[in-house]
Amino acid sequence: MERLVVISGAAGMTGSETVRRLLKKGYKVIGFDNFFASSIDTIKDVLEHPDFTFFEFDINCTGQMIVLETLLGEKHGELHFINCAAVVHTKYFYIPQATFETNVISMKNFLEMAIRLGAKTYINCSTSEVYSFGSYKEGGVLENDLLLFSTAENSLRTSYATGKLLTEFFMKEAVENGLIKGCSIRFANVYSDSELYPEHIIPYTIYSLLNGDNVQLLENARKTYRTFLHNYDSCDAVISLLETPEALDGSVYNAGTTEEILIPDLVQTIADKMGKKVTITYKGERTADPLRRLLNIEKIRTRTGWSPKVTLDEGLSLCLEKIV
Ligand SMILES: NC(=O)c1ccc[n+]([C@@H]2O[C@H](COP(=O)([O-])OP(=O)(O)OC[C@H]3O[C@@H](n4cnc5c(N)ncnc54)[C@H](O)[C@@H]3O)[C@@H](O)[C@H]2O)c1
């Protein structure tokens, strides 16, 4: 039976690589993106693929979503939905208005479309930002840990996470009501070698070092540790869940790595790999940005067999090969 996957945000970091891998596995794929944070370049290698159809559509545009639903209504076979479209970048985390429509309203509308069409599964991309002030514990935070949230009284940062958290409730409710199978995935710090956003720490460091020997970080960065998930691994996590129906119980899965690095050490590592001397300076603060974020990934590992494969060293080399 034909297996058709519909992906929103198909030109983004996780969406684009997921398209590529699904095509290799023999799926038919329909993807769309409005290029809010991506470009046609990330998927140009698959645009001519006979099993891939791409639309420059906005998930917030009712007319375009009606066109998509009408088209999908004429298809037969097994239908799966993956929702990657989102307003993601850190600078928007502090602007509730910027993230709400796409990340919350349109996630829900897209889920309702999947249900109306009788789709078998819906994979909802959520975020590890939901852990807010509880982003770290020894061994990594668990999906069912209670959350310690920063509220609007503390910082607007958590508005993005609050929206994503709401999508996890929509997902769970739909599965519990027997309308569809699905789950939510909480990714932590996805990066790729085709990232367009030089504000994110890896491309930012590479571009700073290409233009000089100074990298200016935020004051918080002195004590901030992060793990980084390569987009090869984030998309494999999506596909492993898509292909494990028994895991699609409406619940949440963490997806990250356990390789923590202090941000100034990350900068130094990149400089060493580029053979450059670096001076690190510090300026500015970010509110409600946790000092550590470490996810426990046992749940996805035991239920699907997924674990991250790309080490930070390998991932940085891939970025440097592409950019430098
Ligand atoms: N990047 C991370 O570190 C990270 C961390 C946690 C969770 N996530 C989640 O993973 C998912 C995939 O994110 P990503 O890392 O690939 O980021 P990304 O920004 O590379 O991809 C998101 C894609 O959605 C598209 N998009 C945005 N608004 C749209 C709209 N109105 N209509 C259609 N397309 C639209 C963007 O153009 C982009 O191509 C998102 O749901 C995100 O919230 C990402």
3-state secondary structure 264-305: HHHHHHHHHHHCCCCEEEECCCCCCCCCCCCECCHHHHHHHC
**Position 196 pLDDT exceeds 80:** no
For the CA of 189, the nearest atom of ligand 1: 3
For the CA of 15, the nearest atom of ligand 1: 16
List, for residues 89-119, the tens digit of each pLDDT value: 888 999 999 999 999 999 999 999 999 999 9
Structure tokens at 284: 């500015």
Q: What span, in angstroms and rounded, lies between the C-alpha atoms of 161 and 132? A: 8
Averaged confidence pLDDT in the chain:
96
Residue-wise DSSP of 1-28: --EEEEEESTTSHHHHHHHHHHHHTT-E
Structure tokens at 41: 């370049």
Ligand 1: which residue has its CA nearest to atom 10?
Answer: 125
Structure tokens at 76: 């037969």
Confidence of residue 232 (pLDDT cuts 50, 70, 90): very high
Q: What span, in angstroms and rounded, lies between the C-alpha atoms of 57 and 60? A: 9
Ligand 1 centre and the CA of 302: distance in Å? Answer: 26
Ligand 1 centre and the CA of 117: distance in Å? Answer: 24
For the CA of 89, the nearest atom of ligand 1: 19
CATH number for 3-192+229-258+294-309 (one of 3.30.450.20, 3.10.180.10, 3.40.50.10490, 3.40.50.720): it is 3.40.50.720
List, for residues 17-45, the tens digit of each pLDDT value: 999 999 999 999 999 999 999 999 999 99
Ligand 1 centre and the CA of 108: distance in Å? Answer: 16
Structure tokens at 257: 């790595």
Structure tokens at 308: 């991250």
Which residues partner with 281 through β-bridges?
216
List, for residues 239-292, the tens digit of each pLDDT value: 999 999 999 999 999 999 999 999 999 999 999 999 999 999 999 999 889 999
Residue 11 is which amino acid? A
Which residues partner with 79 through β-bridges?
4
Residue 194: its pLDDT value, please? 85
Ligand 1 pocket, Cβ-based, cut-off 6 angstroms: 8-9, 11-15, 33-38, 58-60, 84-88, 102, 125, 127-128, 187, 189-190
- The preferred substitution site among 42, 157, 190 for testing ligand 1, maximizing ligand atoms within 8 Å of CB, is 190
Residue 1: its pLDDT value, please? 81
CA-CA-CA-CA torsion for 161, 166, 168, 174, nearest 10 degrees?
-170
Confidence of residue 142 (pLDDT cuts 50, 70, 90): very high
Ligand 1: which residue has its CA nearest to atom 35?
Answer: 85
**Position 198 pLDDT exceeds 80:** no
- The preferred substitution site among 30, 34, 88, 238 for testing ligand 1, maximizing ligand atoms within 8 Å of CB, is 88
Name which of 75, 131, 128, 81 is nearest 106 in CA terms.
81
For the CA of 60, the nearest atom of ligand 1: 31
Residue 112 neighbours by CB under 8 Å, 6+ apart: none
What's the CA angle centered on 119, arms 117 and 125, to 5 degrees? 115
Listed in sequence order, the DSSP H helices in the chain are 13-24, 62-73, 90-93, 96-100, 106-116, 158-176, 201-211, 231-242, 263-274, 298-304, 312-323
Q: What percent of the chain is modeled with pLDDT above 70?
A: 100
Q: What span, in angstroms and rounded, lies between the C-alpha atoms of 129 and 126? A: 9
**Element spanning 255, H or E:** strand 249-255
Question: What is the pTM (predicted TM-score) of this model?
Answer: 0.97
151 phi and psi angles, rounded to 5 deg:
-105, -175
Confidence of residue 323 (pLDDT cuts 50, 70, 90): confident
CA 12 to chain centroid: 9
Domain ranges of the chain: 3-192+229-258+294-309
Residue 106: its pLDDT value, please? 98
Residue 138: its pLDDT value, please? 97
Q: What span, in angstroms and rounded, lies between the C-alpha atoms of 74 and 80? A: 15
Residue 27: its pLDDT value, please? 97
Ligand 1 centre and the CA of 29: distance in Å? Answer: 18
Ligand 1 centre and the CA of 10: distance in Å? Answer: 9
Q: Which residue has better confidence, 197 or 54?
A: 54
Ligand 1 centre and the CA of 237: distance in Å? Answer: 15
Ligand 1 centre and the CA of 126: distance in Å? Answer: 10
Question: Which string of b and e fits 30-59 if b means at least 16 CB within 10 Å?
Answer: bbbbbebbbeeebbeebeebeebebeebbb
Contact 103, 160 (CB under 8 A): yes
Q: What percent of the chain is modeled with pLDDT above 90?
A: 94
